[in-house]
Amino acid sequence: MSGDRVRLTVNGVPVDVPGRISVAAALLGLERPFRRSLSGQRRAPLCGMGVCFECRVRIDGRAQQRACQVTVRDAMRVDTDD
């Protein structure tokens, strides 16, 4: 399935992940952070279905995207809070 992988840039670092998975699944698998809350707490996906908005990240420069609602694409740029 090596041909099935896509290359993302997460916080400036290139990473290869399986194609067709969600950005949330990719970040969870890589054990990367997602966002910080208003008071600075680390948050990560909770509902997995686009309801809770805890998995928000910046995707290709567009802020506040729900990572669980977006499928990875080759050359996608993902930026998280830290």
Among 6, 8, 10, 54, binds another protein (CB under 8 A): 54
Name the nearest CA neighbour of 52 among 67, 40, 74: 67
Shortest reach from residue 67's CB to another protein, in Å: 9
List, in sequence order, every beta strand (DSSP E) within 1-82.
Answer: 5-10, 13-18, 35-36, 42-43, 56-59, 62-66, 76-79
- Chain positions 5 to 34 lying near another protein, rule: CB under 8 A, are 18, 20-22, 24-26, 28-29, 33-34
Q: Which residue, 1 or 13, has its beta carbon nearer to another protein? A: 1
